[in-house]
Chains A and B, each alone.
Chain A
Amino acid sequence: MKVVNKGIDKLDAMSLVTGKPVYTDDIAPENCLIVKVLRSPHAYAKILSIIIDKALKVPGIECILTYQDVPQKRFTMAGQSYPEPSPYDRLILDEYVRYVGDPVVIVAGVNVKAVNKALKLIKVNYEVLKPILNMEEAIDNSIVIHSEDDYHLNFDIGNDVKRNLCASGSFKSGNVDEELKSCHVVVDEQYHTKANNQAMMETFSTYTYLDYNGRVNIITSTQIPFHVRRIVAKALDIPKTKVRVIKPRIGGGFGAKQTVVSEIFPAIVTMKTGKPAKMIFNRFETFCASTSRHEMKIRIKLGADKEGNIKAISIYTLSNTGAYGEHGPTTVGLSGHKTMTLYNKASSFKFDYDVVYTNTMSAGAFRGYGATQGAFALESAINELAVKLNMDPIELRQKNLLEEGDIMTTYYGETLTSCNLDNCINKGKELVGWNEKYPYRRISDSKVRSVGVAITMQGSGISGIDMASVQIRLNDDGYYTLLIGATDMGTGCDTILAQMAAECLECNMDQIVVNGVDTDQSPYDSGSYASSTTYITGMSVVKACNKLIEQMIVEASKILIVQKETLEFDGQKIYNSEKSITLDKLAQKLVVGDGNYLMANASHSSLSSPPPFMAGFVEIELDTQTGKIDIIDFFGIVDCGTTINPKLAKIQVEGGIVQGIGMALYEEVSYSTTGKMMNNSFMQYKIPSRLDIGNIHVNFESSYEPTGPFGAKSIGEVVINTPCPAIAHAVYNAVGVNIRSLPITSEKILLSIINSR
């Protein structure tokens, strides 16, 4: 391969590193109305009255909207393919507010000062209601969070909204309870993962305007332009034809922008006023009025025989979806299906779950999407099982590992078509120096060095649902335009998709033009989430390019007057043993006179979602007197199939591991006793700095995925899953305490050490 599997620079790199104005707020016109939202100070309340008279008189205020001024059609903000599994439990503005931060009034004015002043002058009278803040108290509580009559579900998700149950379900294979009885050792523990914030550097940003056709144009930092089009049209109760969505460069997403967070507010202001409007979330709002990772409590029962053959795995997950159900019914599934599948050899499996409403900020999508939470639980339990068996945790895993060709009972019955996890483990074991370092070495009176391990899997797109279409055009002079609907959010998908096109078309990268997404121009794509872009959109690129080559050969055969079956294309020319036409010439001829401008379209979806795999190994130094953890080294060994761009894939792994380290050690969205988020800034919610991460080392042990483009699977999400369980394991190996509740703070470690004395 000439272009694929090469570390090519991102197409947009130089404009990003030179600070060009390419993000939403950079390109918004100066005359946009500034849109801000007055937010609820209460976790649960009914609005009795809103007095806006004084605010309306502030010079420069153009529009103030309360729940009485907006369409009352419920929708979900979750960016999912229609019909969405998430309940329709939202209004743009509602008579009830269900968490601290829920929008109450939309204010738009000509400048920030006027809007801020107006916000201060609005008086809202609330009937304050008692909230549910603890997810374990949600089911069958006398307080009901969603009692609206028009609450709507698209299909059965095991919902019972009167019980605050957003979704529930179960899966079973074999008889876990019977099997556990006959097991030699059983681990039965509960693990608690917390809400985290995605914390992408660019906050939610949108601007809107009406074009000459009276359509609302939405320029927004999103992972899901096509879902935004549908959801905004629904929320505003206008036809989809009246909405156009454009995605410029995005300053990161990590799932946060797989939900419609900022788009609706300026859109409705533009609809009401006819004027351009913009809403740039500040960091406080980005923390406390968006969506977080789902907090989960996961009970694992795990049984094995004397020899360490895992017989039974049972998982019960209680997931907190917060005030609204965005992604609630879907994230929870991954906590079971994308964890226990690793131990596919077991004879019985059970997975039950409940997803509950509480009066905290809605949870949503965040890299890993439930698999991360599940990985902490199950991988921790596996490590605890190894202790009980007195067995090396690596040996235990390798003994029970799934293998290529397996039918994966707990993974929708799919057959595993590519897997190199065993070698990932071997490689990591060697690199970290497991044999010398496991379980720990004492460095001094107060310092211990130890190692820990975890393995994980994710998926590649949502099977049978995610869909990507691509168009490739042959332009005059023989260069190509690649039109995609997938959204590069900094990951470099524009570049890797162009690499695939260049590989298919046997040309250089500079012969391919890729554009950002515009729903008026770009072909449909469900969006960049669920680790789908490389695998799903990539395959669509391959299909489209092959079609285009066929078309070029047909046209060349007409010009050369030869049988098309005799012709071949080598990237430069189309030829047979006698005749030849260069690509340039062909392209020029096709756009003159009775030419035929060539455009090839293809769509792709996949009936399987082949899992990428990763083994994570960590070495930490633990201060046994303060509980402080220093990460020394983290080794991530990944099987993502063929790496389309090894350089960008490596950065994905490094970035994912560091996010995982933050989640493991200190990231935690915390609420006060009245439901107010206590850490809604980078001062109080710390994400790792470059001083906090030790050294990250990345290796690839690639398999070849036959259903993926050039053998590729996915990489975006699998990389965040191993740090939590691996670090928890290292802590156990250092000081003998199991921290089963994230984050693994120094405080928890030290107090556990003291308590275990």
Chain B
Amino acid sequence: MQIKCTINNRIFVEDIQVDMLLIDFLRHLGFLSVKRGCDTANCGLCTVWIDNKTVLSCSILAVSVNEKHVTTLEGIQDEAIEFGKFIASEGAEQCGYCSPGFIMNVLAMKRELVNPTEDSIKHYLSGNLCRCTGYMGQLRAIKKFLNATRGGCLSESS
């Protein structure tokens, strides 16, 4: 089936099998930041945005993004670098395999939540698993990032 969609502000017209998952479609097109960590929609590694909404690309048919806008980490490199520096300075990328999906969701959170508390940050990101860091370094990085880039988050937890 032929679909037309926008990925990272570039238009793609592709003929694909209808049961192809979005994650495989994106990786096939070379958007290799999108990672697969599980088969049960439980790890958050494959997170991308569809029309700016944060979703699991492992659980979406590629054909269903017809006429839609998809964003992967390749499409927001400036922001990835900006936030990534905070992650790096905590050493909290570690193996880095969960980083793209995690960063996509952090940046989605930044767009969606205004001055989030520590608890609402954890809640928003709870679907992003990481086995290396123990999450604390990620939280330190997020707080510093939010504080540096705009009014920031409330430091006290609710």
- With a cutoff of 8 Å between Cβ atoms, the chain A residues found around residue B98 in the complex are 201, 251
Complex Cα spacing A18 to B37, Å: 18
Q: Could you tell me if A681 and B132 are in contact, using CB atoms closer than 8 angstroms?
A: no
Annotate B121-157 by CB proximity to A: 1 below 8 A, 0 otherwise.
0110111111111111111000000000000000000
Given A682-B40, A690-B130, 14 more A-B residue pairs with CB atoms under 8 Å apart are A13-B88, A14-B84, A18-B33, A23-B35, A200-B131, A200-B132, A202-B35, A249-B95, A250-B95, A492-B94, A654-B133, A657-B134, A658-B134, A689-B126
B43 within 8 A of A: yes
- With a cutoff of 8 Å between Cβ atoms, the chain B residues found around residue A19 in the complex are 32-34, 72-74, 80, 99-100, 103
Complex Cα spacing A13 to B85, Å: 8
B25 within 8 A of A: no
- With a cutoff of 8 Å between Cβ atoms, the chain A residues found around residue B123 in the complex are 691
- With a cutoff of 8 Å between Cβ atoms, the chain A residues found around residue B37 in the complex are 201-203, 283, 682
Question: In chain B, residues 7-45, which have Cβ atoms closer than 8 Å to a Cβ of chain A?
Answer: 32-43, 45
**Known contacts A655-B94, A690-B122; A14 and B129 CB within 8 A of each other:** no
Q: Could you tell me if B38 and A283 are in contact, using CB atoms closer than 8 angstroms?
A: yes
A621 to chain B, nearest CB (A): 15
B15 to chain A, nearest CB (A): 15
Q: Could you tell me if B131 and A201 are in contact, using CB atoms closer than 8 angstroms?
A: yes
B64 within 8 A of A: no
- With a cutoff of 8 Å between Cβ atoms, the chain A residues found around residue B49 in the complex are none
**Known contacts A13-B93, A199-B131, A687-B131; A681 and B88 CB within 8 A of each other:** no
B70 to chain A, nearest CB (A): 14
Complex Cα spacing A490 to B132, Å: 8
Interface range for A: 35 or more
Q: Could you tell me if B80 and A491 are in contact, using CB atoms closer than 8 angstroms?
A: no
Annotate A341-358 by CB proximity to B: 1 below 8 A, 0 otherwise.
000000000000000000
7 A-B pairs with least C-beta separation: A490-B95, A19-B33, A16-B96, A251-B97, A17-B84, A654-B134, A13-B88
Q: Could you tell me if A252 and B134 are in contact, using CB atoms closer than 8 angstroms?
A: no
B66 to chain A, nearest CB (A): 22
Question: In chain A, residues 1-31, which have Cβ atoms closer than 8 Å to a Cβ of chain B?
Answer: 7, 9-10, 12-23, 26
- With a cutoff of 8 Å between Cβ atoms, the chain A residues found around residue B136 in the complex are 654, 693, 695-696
Interface-lining segment among A143-151, A389-397, A643-651, A739-747: A643-651
- With a cutoff of 8 Å between Cβ atoms, the chain B residues found around residue A284 in the complex are 39
**Known contacts A19-B100, A654-B134, A656-B134; A7 and B95 CB within 8 A of each other:** no
B26 to chain A, nearest CB (A): 11
**Known contacts A650-B91, A651-B133, A654-B136; A252 and B97 CB within 8 A of each other:** yes
Question: In chain A, residues 641-672, which have Cβ atoms closer than 8 Å to a Cβ of chain B?
Answer: 645, 647-648, 650-651, 653-659
28 of the cross-chain contacts (CB-CB < 8 Å) are A10-B91, A14-B88, A17-B99, A18-B84, A19-B72, A23-B35, A198-B131, A201-B43, A201-B97, A201-B98, A203-B36, A249-B95, A249-B96, A251-B95, A251-B96, A252-B131, A283-B39, A489-B95, A490-B132, A650-B91, A651-B90, A655-B94, A657-B134, A687-B131, A689-B126, A690-B135, A691-B123, A693-B136
**Known contacts A13-B87, A18-B80, A490-B132; A202 and B42 CB within 8 A of each other:** no
Complex Cα spacing A288 to B94, Å: 25
A678 to chain B, nearest CB (A): 14
- The contact of A681 among B40, B74, B126, B129, by CB within 8 Å, is B40
- With a cutoff of 8 Å between Cβ atoms, the chain A residues found around residue B93 in the complex are 10, 13, 16-17
Annotate B67-107 by CB proximity to A: 1 below 8 A, 0 otherwise.
00000111001001101110111111111111110010000
A391 to chain B, nearest CB (A): 32
Q: How many residue pairs bridge A and B at CB < 8 Å?
A: 180
A282 within 8 A of B: yes
Q: Could you tell me if B132 and A655 are in contact, using CB atoms closer than 8 angstroms?
A: yes
Q: Could you tell me if A16 and B134 are in contact, using CB atoms closer than 8 angstroms?
A: no
Annotate A220-255 by CB proximity to B: 1 below 8 A, 0 otherwise.
000000000000000000000000000001111010
- The contact of B95 among A198, A252, A659, A695, by CB within 8 Å, is A252
Interface of B is mostly: loop
Q: Could you tell me if A17 and B88 are in contact, using CB atoms closer than 8 angstroms?
A: yes
- With a cutoff of 8 Å between Cβ atoms, the chain B residues found around residue A690 in the complex are 122, 125-126, 128, 130, 135, 138-139
Complex Cα spacing A658 to B136, Å: 10
Tell me the nearest residue of chain B to A250, going by C-beta.
Answer: B95
- With a cutoff of 8 Å between Cβ atoms, the chain A residues found around residue B137 in the complex are 650-651, 654
Q: Could you tell me if A490 and B96 are in contact, using CB atoms closer than 8 angstroms?
A: yes
A683 within 8 A of B: yes
Q: Could you tell me if A648 and B126 are in contact, using CB atoms closer than 8 angstroms?
A: no
B4 to chain A, nearest CB (A): 23
Tell me the nearest residue of chain B to A19, going by C-beta.
Answer: B33
A75 to chain B, nearest CB (A): 28
- With a cutoff of 8 Å between Cβ atoms, the chain A residues found around residue B96 in the complex are 12-13, 15-17, 22, 249, 251, 490
Q: Could you tell me if A202 and B132 are in contact, using CB atoms closer than 8 angstroms?
A: no
Q: Could you tell me if B133 and A655 are in contact, using CB atoms closer than 8 angstroms?
A: yes
- The contact of A691 among B77, B122, B134, by CB within 8 Å, is B122
- The contact of A9 among B38, B77, B89, by CB within 8 Å, is B89
Q: Could you tell me if A17 and B130 are in contact, using CB atoms closer than 8 angstroms?
A: no
Q: Could you tell me if A645 and B95 are in contact, using CB atoms closer than 8 angstroms?
A: no
- The contact of A651 among B36, B91, B99, by CB within 8 Å, is B91
- With a cutoff of 8 Å between Cβ atoms, the chain B residues found around residue A695 in the complex are 136
B157 to chain A, nearest CB (A): 10
A30 to chain B, nearest CB (A): 9
B133 to chain A, nearest CB (A): 5
B57 to chain A, nearest CB (A): 13
Q: Could you tell me if B81 and A18 are in contact, using CB atoms closer than 8 angstroms?
A: yes
A749 to chain B, nearest CB (A): 24
Complex Cα spacing A691 to B135, Å: 9
Q: Could you tell me if A682 and B97 are in contact, using CB atoms closer than 8 angstroms?
A: no
Complex Cα spacing A23 to B127, Å: 22
Complex Cα spacing A283 to B43, Å: 11
Complex Cα spacing A9 to B96, Å: 13
Complex Cα spacing A282 to B37, Å: 8
**Known contacts A9-B88, A17-B84, A651-B92; A683 and B97 CB within 8 A of each other:** no
Q: Could you tell me if B97 and A18 are in contact, using CB atoms closer than 8 angstroms?
A: no
Q: Could you tell me if B91 and A645 are in contact, using CB atoms closer than 8 angstroms?
A: yes
- With a cutoff of 8 Å between Cβ atoms, the chain A residues found around residue B36 in the complex are 203
Q: Could you tell me if B91 and A492 are in contact, using CB atoms closer than 8 angstroms?
A: yes
B39 to chain A, nearest CB (A): 5
Complex Cα spacing A19 to B30, Å: 12
- With a cutoff of 8 Å between Cβ atoms, the chain B residues found around residue A200 in the complex are 95, 97, 131-132
Tell me the nearest residue of chain A to B86, going by C-beta.
Answer: A17
- With a cutoff of 8 Å between Cβ atoms, the chain A residues found around residue B128 in the complex are 690
A202 to chain B, nearest CB (A): 5
Q: Could you tell me if B32 and A490 are in contact, using CB atoms closer than 8 angstroms?
A: no
- With a cutoff of 8 Å between Cβ atoms, the chain B residues found around residue A10 in the complex are 88, 91, 93
B93 to chain A, nearest CB (A): 5
**Known contacts A7-B91, A12-B96; A693 and B80 CB within 8 A of each other:** no
Complex Cα spacing A12 to B96, Å: 9
Complex Cα spacing A490 to B93, Å: 8
- With a cutoff of 8 Å between Cβ atoms, the chain B residues found around residue A251 in the complex are 35, 95-98
B69 to chain A, nearest CB (A): 18
Complex Cα spacing A602 to B127, Å: 46
Q: Could you tell me if B32 and A26 are in contact, using CB atoms closer than 8 angstroms?
A: yes
- With a cutoff of 8 Å between Cβ atoms, the chain B residues found around residue A15 in the complex are 96
Complex Cα spacing A690 to B137, Å: 11
Complex Cα spacing A689 to B105, Å: 15
Q: Could you tell me if A202 and B39 are in contact, using CB atoms closer than 8 angstroms?
A: no
- With a cutoff of 8 Å between Cβ atoms, the chain B residues found around residue A687 in the complex are 129, 131
